[in-house]
Structure 1
C-alpha cells in the first residue's frame, strides 16, 4: 500500500502542474507573444518545486496538528481507496460500487455520448430579475460535499447565495437604466446582460478580493505555528544525533534542503528573468524575491483551502489575481511601470506563484493520504519532485499543441484571459478597484461574525452551481450525524466516505476516457465518422421547412466543407514569421520598444484576420403554422440544436426538451444512492 501511494503521489503532480500552467501561460499567446518550450518548461519546474519545498515546513501543523479540523477530502478519499482492498472486502465492494455508479452517471449525462439529462439545470426566479439558481449535478461535487461535511458546505453555499441572489439582482436593479456600459464591461449594457455575464464581469472581481483578504487573514492566524515549525526545523540543522529516534512517519526532508533548495530556486528564477525579460540583475532580483514571498504566502493559503474545501474548490485563479495585483502595484511604486516588458514580467511572476500554489494543494492532499495510511513524508516529498520534473518536461510541447486553438478562440482559456485583463487593467490604471476592495470588506465582515471567511469568499468567487451539489452532499452527511445514538455511526460515516470517493474517482476517470475518445475521433479520419464528419447531422425530424442560411435543408445532412476557411494557412504562416521577428527584437540589447510594439500590433492584426476567417456562422431557421424560431451557431464548434413543438409553437435551444427536469431527477436518485450506502447497516466480509 505504501508503494502504491508513492506511485499516485508522483502521478498526481502532473494534473496540478498542468492547471497552474494552463491558467497563466496562454495569456502570453493571447498577447501575441511566443515563449519558447524551454522557457515554459523552466517556469513549470521551478514553480512546481517551490510549491513542494514551501509545503514541507507546514506539514506538521496542517496535516498532523489540524487532523480532524481540516478534512482534506481528496486526500482522505485517496486513502480510503488505498485501504479499501486491505482485509475487509466489503470496503472494496462499496468503493467499486461508487466508482461504477459515478462512471455510469457521467457517461449517460455527457452530451457527446448519450446526453440523457442536463449537466447544469438552472432556472430564473420569476419576478426577481437577475436571480438564477442552478446546480452542476455531477458525482464529483456530491462526493466532495459529503467528505467536507455540512458546516463548510453551508458556509460556501452562503457565499454563492450572496453573490447570485443578492449582488447580481441588485446590479440588475440599479443598472437597469444605465445608458452606457459600466467597467469592466466594455460593450454590453447591464439590462442586456444575463446573470452569468454579470458574475463573470463583476462578481468574480468581488470574490477575488474576498479570497485575497481571507487568504491574508488565514496566513496571519497561522504565523505562530509557521514560526514554531521553522524553529523546530532549524533547531535540527547541524544537531548531532543524541540517540533520540524520530518516527518514520514523521520524517520530512531536512530544513537544510528546504532553505538551500529555496535559495537555489530563487537564484534560478532570478537568472531566468534576467536572461529573458529584464536584462538587469537588480530588477530580476526584485522579481525573484516577489516570487519567493508570494509563493510562500499562497502555498500556505492553498494548502489550507484544499484542507477545508478540497482541491476542486481551490481558487487558484483568485490567488494568482491577487499576486498579479500586488506585483503590479510594487512595480508601479518601484518606477518599473514604463518598462517595455513590464506586463510580461508581471505575468511571469504570477505564473511561478500560480504553479507553486497549485502544486502545494496537491502535495498537501498527498501528504494527508500518507498520514492516514502511515507513509514516510520524506519519500512522498521526493516523489512530488519527481512528478514535477517529469510532467514539467512535457508542458512546453503540450502548450504548443494547444497554441493555435487558444489564439483562434477555439479554446477560450477563461482564466488566462482574466489574468491578461487584470495586468492590462492595473498597468493601464483602469482596474475595477471598487469591486476588489468591496470583496475584501465583505470577507472582513464575515470574519468578524465568527464565520470562516475563506470558505465564504470561495463560494462568492465560484459559480453558485458548484456550491449547490456540494451542499447536497453535506446535507446527507448532516442527516447521518444527527443519529448520535447509533452504535454504527462511525462505520457508516466511513462507508459514506468510501462511496463518495468512488463517485469522485469513477466520474473523473470516465471524463478523462471521454476526452481521449473524442480527441481520437476528431483527429483520425474514418474513426467515429458520425462525430468526425463536418456538417449538420439531423437525428430525427417531422419538420419539412428547416432552412440553413436561407436555403431549404435537403435530407438529414448539411455539409460544411473545410473550404469555408479561406487563406487560414497563409495567415498562420504570417503570424509565425512575425512572432519569430518579435523574438529577435526582444532578445536584442537594448530592446527597441517601438519596433516591439509595432510587431505586437502586426500580430494582433493577423489574429483578427484569422478569427474572422475561421468564425463563420450558420443560421438554422424553422417554421410551423406561423411560429418561427432560429438559432445561429459557429462553424468549427460542436454544438447541439433542438427544435421542439408544444401547443402549436416551436422552441429552439441547445438541449432536448425535458433535459433539465431529467437532470434534477437523476441527481436526486444519485443523492439517494449516497444516502443508502451511508446509512445502511454495515456488513463485514473478510477475505
Structure 2
C-alpha cells in the first residue's frame, strides 16, 4: 500500500480511534441535509445554478456541536458529509424530474416515483465513486478546492462560533427581504425594460433577490462573468440579430402581439436559448473525452489496490483507508436496479404507447441498462472534473443534456419501428418522459459523485474513516430523497414552474423558471415530436468549440482566467435578469480579493455571509409556499395599493424603487462584510 506522504499526513492519526458517527452528529446531519436539500431545490428551480453547501454546513455543525459539550473534528466532518449530500441530490432531481410536469405527463410530483429515482440515483452515485477514491485522492491528488477549503475550516474549529454569526445575520436579512418581496409585495423582486431600434428589441433587466448575489460571490468573477457573457450573447446579440433577419411572418408567429421585453423574451424562449443546448451537449462530450484516459488508469489502480488489500488481509488496512467493501458495490448496484426497473414499469404507460409486450420490455430494459451504464460513466466524469475545477462547477447540466439527447435518439430508433411520433403528440410525450426518467437517474448519480469525492478529500486531509463517510453520504441521500418530493409539490402548487401552472390565474412573474428542466422537456419533446431548432443547437455547438479552444490556449499560458464552456451555456439558457446579480456578486468577490491581495479563504466572512443570503431567501420561499399552496394564491399576505391609498402605477414605481434600493444596500453590505478579516 502506498504510504501517505509527509505533506499530506492526516490531521487525526490513522492509529487513533476518534468519535465520528455519534447520535448527535447523525441527527444534526439529517436535519441539515433536509434543510439544504430544500434550499438548493428552490435555488436551482429559480436560477438553474446550485452551490456547494459543505462550508456552511461545517460552520453550523461546529457552532451547534460546541453547545452540546464539544465534538471532534471528524465528527463535524460527518455532519457536513451528510448535509452536503442533501444539496447535491436536490440538484440532480430539479434539473430533470420537473420536466415531466412541463411535458404535461405528470400534474404534480408523486412521492414514490420521485423519491425512488432520487434515492437510487444518489446511492449509485456514492457506490460508483468508491473505487475511484484511492486513485483520485490518494495516489493522484487532484485540487478538489471545496474539499480542501472545508478541511481548513474544520481545522480552524475555534472560529466556528463567530463565523456562524455571519450565516445567521445574513440569513435573517435575506429572509426578511424575500418576505417583503414575495409575501407582502411591498418590494419588487425584478426590474425589466427594453430598448427598441427599428424592428429590433434589446431586453434589459435584473433580478433583485439576494440569493443570486450570493451565488455570484461564491462562484467568483471568472464563472460569474462567463454566465453573464452567455446572457449577453443571447440577449444583446442573438435576439436582435434574429429579429433583424428572420422572416416577418415567422417572427410574428413567435412574438404575436407582445412588445418590448416580452417580445425579446418570446424570441429567446422559442429560438435563442437552444444555443445553450448545443453548447451544453458539446461541453458534455468534451468533459467525457477529457477524462477517458485518466479514468481508465484510475479504475485500474483502484482494482489493483482492492486486490492487494484482499491479499494482505483487512487487518492490514489502516482506518483511514477503509472503504465500503468491494462486494457491496456489486450487490448495491443490482439492488438499486430493481426499484429503478419498477418505476419505469409503472410510470411509462404501455397502453398509451400502444406497443407490443416484447417491444415494451425491450424499451424498459434499455432504459434501466442505459441509466446504469451512463450513471457509472458520468459519475466518473463528474468526480474527476470536480476534482479539477470544484464541486460548484460540477458539469451535471452538460452530462444530463448529453444523456437526454443520447437516450432520446436511441429510444427513437427502438420505438420508431412501430410508432410515428411526428403524427402522435401523446406518444411523443410518453417517449420523451421515458428519456427524462433515464436522465433523472444519471443526473442524481453524477451530482452525488462530485460531492462524494469532495467530502472524501476533506476526510482524507482530516484523518476520517472513508467507510463511515460513505455510510453517512447514503444517509444524507435517503433523507433528501424522502424530502424532495413534498418540497417540489409545495413549490409547484405555490408558484408554478416554467410555463406550467397547477391552476389558472397564477402570476407568471412568480413562477420558478426551472431552466434545466424546461430545456430537458423541450429537447425530449423536440426529438420525438419534431420542431427542434437544430440550426441554433449547431450554432451553440460551434460556440462551445471556440470556447474550448480558447480555454486550452489560456491553460497553456498559465492564465488565471479560464473559459469553461458550461458556464457560458448556463448563461445562454437563463433569462437575462438572472445573470445580472450573479455577475454583480462575482465583481464583489474580485474587488474583495484584490483589496486583500489574494483570494479569500474558504471560511472567510464573505463566503459565509453569501451562503446565509442564499439559505435565508430559499427557506422563506419554501415556507411561504405552504400557505400559498393551501390558499391556492400567492396573494395571501400581499398588501394592495388601495390599502396604502395609492394607484396601481404609483405603487409599481414605489416597489421598483424599494427593490433597487434594497439590492444596492445588500451589495454594499456584502462588500463591507467580505472585507473584514476573520
Secondary structure in structure 2 of the residue aligned to 1:439: helix
Alignment partners' CA distance in 2, 1:3 and 1:442: 46
Correspondent of 1:220 among 273, 289, 304: 289
Q: Does 1:51 align with 2:146?
A: no
2:437 maps to what in 1?
348
- Alignment of structure 1 residues 242-261 onto 2, 5 Å: 242=312, 248-261=319-332
Q: Given the superposition, is the C-alpha separation of residues 140 and 46 from structure 1 closer, same or farther in structure 2, using an over 3 Å criterion? A: same
Q: Does 1:408 align with 2:506?
A: no
Alignment partners' CA distance in 2, 1:311 and 1:663: 31
Q: Does 1:643 align with 2:649?
A: yes
Q: Given the superposition, is the C-alpha separation of residues 420 and 146 from structure 1 closer, same or farther in structure 2, using an over 3 Å criterion? A: closer
Correspondent of 1:459 among 559, 562, 571: 571
Tell me how far 1:64 sits from its aligned partner: 6.7
- Contact 1:159–1:460 (Cα < 8 Å) also in 2: yes
Which segment drifts farther, 352-361 or 21-30? Answer: 21-30
Alignment partners' CA distance in 1, 2:287 and 2:474: 27
1:439 maps to what in 2?
540
Q: Given the superposition, is the C-alpha separation of residues 390 and 106 from structure 1 closer, same or farther in structure 2, using an over 3 Å criterion? A: closer
1:662 maps to what in 2?
661
Correspondent of 1:541 among 634, 637, 645: 645
Deviation by residue 1:24-63 (Cα, 9 ceiling, x = unmatched): 4455455355796444433232222222223334445666
- Alignment of structure 1 residues 89-128 onto 2, 5 Å: 92-97=161-166, 99-108=168-177, 110-112=180-182, 118-122=188-192, 124=194
Q: Does 1:285 align with 2:365?
A: yes
Tell me how far 1:517 sits from its aligned partner: 5.1
Deviation by residue 1:84-131 (Cα, 9 ceiling, x = unmatched): 6x224xx64245235413531442354145767544445545759543
2:236 maps to what in 1?
165
1:363 maps to what in 2?
452
Correspondent of 2:340 among 256, 269, 279: 269
Tell me how far 1:261 sits from its aligned partner: 3.0
- Contact 2:173–2:616 (Cα < 8 Å) also in 1: no
Tell me how far 1:329 sits from its aligned partner: 0.9
Alignment partners' CA distance in 1, 2:568 and 2:311: 47
**Structure 1 length normalisation: TM-score?**
0.68
Alignment partners' CA distance in 2, 1:250 and 1:466: 43
- Contact 2:230–2:570 (Cα < 8 Å) also in 1: yes
Q: Does 1:207 align with 2:296?
A: no
Q: Does 1:500 align with 2:571?
A: no
Tell me how far 1:447 sits from its aligned partner: 0.9
- Contact 2:604–2:674 (Cα < 8 Å) also in 1: no
Give me the CA root mean square deviation: 4.3
Q: Given the superposition, is the C-alpha separation of residues 542 and 11 from structure 1 closer, same or farther in structure 2, using an over 3 Å criterion? A: closer
Which segment drifts farther, 242-251 or 439-448? Answer: 242-251
Alignment gaps of 5+ in structure 1: 544-641, 645-651
- Alignment of structure 1 residues 364-443 onto 2, 5 Å: 364-367=453-456, 369-371=458-460, 373-393=462-482, 407-408=502-503, 414=514, 416-443=517-544
Deviation by residue 1:178-228 (Cα, 9 ceiling, x = unmatched): 123589x59678988433333333233211221121121112111122112
Deviation by residue 1:305-337 (Cα, 9 ceiling, x = unmatched): 766787777675564443222112112223446
Deviation by residue 1:406-444 (Cα, 9 ceiling, x = unmatched): 543656774555433332221123222222222111101
Tell me how far 1:262 sits from its aligned partner: 3.0
Alignment partners' CA distance in 2, 1:357 and 1:56: 13
2:354 maps to what in 1?
none
- Alignment of structure 1 residues 62-141 onto 2, 5 Å: 69-72=143-146, 82=154, 86-88=157-159, 92-97=161-166, 99-108=168-177, 110-112=180-182, 118-122=188-192, 124=194, 129-141=200-212
Instruction: Name which one, 1 or 2, has greater alpha-carbon Rg.
Output: 1
Correspondent of 2:304 among 225, 228, 235: 235
Secondary structure in structure 1 of the residue aligned to 2:655: coil
Which segment drifts farther, 438-447 or 37-46? Answer: 37-46
1:324 maps to what in 2?
404
- Contact 1:209–1:438 (Cα < 8 Å) also in 2: yes
Secondary structure in structure 2 of the residue aligned to 1:131: strand
Alignment partners' CA distance in 2, 1:3 and 1:215: 36
- Contact 1:210–1:457 (Cα < 8 Å) also in 2: yes
Alignment partners' CA distance in 2, 1:359 and 1:433: 32
Q: Given the superposition, is the C-alpha separation of residues 32 and 213 from structure 1 closer, same or farther in structure 2, using an over 3 Å criterion? A: closer
- Contact 2:185–2:639 (Cα < 8 Å) also in 1: no
Alignment partners' CA distance in 2, 1:145 and 1:433: 31
Q: Given the superposition, is the C-alpha separation of residues 41 and 179 from structure 1 closer, same or farther in structure 2, using an over 3 Å criterion? A: same
- Alignment of structure 1 residues 484-495 onto 2, 5 Å: 493-494=600-601
- Contact 1:106–1:138 (Cα < 8 Å) also in 2: no
Deviation by residue 1:611-653 (Cα, 9 ceiling, x = unmatched): xxxxxxxxxxxxxxxxxxxxxxxxxxxxxxx422xxxxxxx74
- Return the structure number with greater helix share: 2
Q: Given the superposition, is the C-alpha separation of residues 359 and 463 from structure 1 closer, same or farther in structure 2, using an over 3 Å criterion? A: farther
Secondary structure in structure 2 of the residue aligned to 1:236: helix
- Contact 1:306–1:361 (Cα < 8 Å) also in 2: yes
Q: Given the superposition, is the C-alpha separation of residues 460 and 534 from structure 1 closer, same or farther in structure 2, using an over 3 Å criterion? A: closer
Larger relative contact order (Cα-Cα within 8 Å, sequence gap ≥ 6): 2
1:556 maps to what in 2?
none
Secondary structure in structure 1 of the residue aligned to 2:249: coil
1:180 maps to what in 2?
250
Alignment partners' CA distance in 2, 1:308 and 1:538: 56
Alignment partners' CA distance in 1, 2:155 and 2:609: 13
Correspondent of 1:6 among 78, 81, 93: 78
- Contact 1:99–1:507 (Cα < 8 Å) also in 2: no
Tell me how far 1:65 sits from its aligned partner: 8.0
Alignment partners' CA distance in 2, 1:137 and 1:361: 31
Alignment gaps of 5+ in structure 2: 1-72, 351-356, 420-426, 552-562
- Contact 1:150–1:474 (Cα < 8 Å) also in 2: yes
**Structure 2 length normalisation: TM-score?**
0.69
Alignment partners' CA distance in 2, 1:361 and 1:255: 20
Alignment partners' CA distance in 2, 1:430 and 1:530: 35
- Alignment of structure 1 residues 460-479 onto 2, 5 Å: 460-479=572-591
- Contact 1:250–1:377 (Cα < 8 Å) also in 2: yes
Q: Does 1:676 align with 2:675?
A: yes
2:3 maps to what in 1?
none
1:586 maps to what in 2?
none
1:590 maps to what in 2?
none
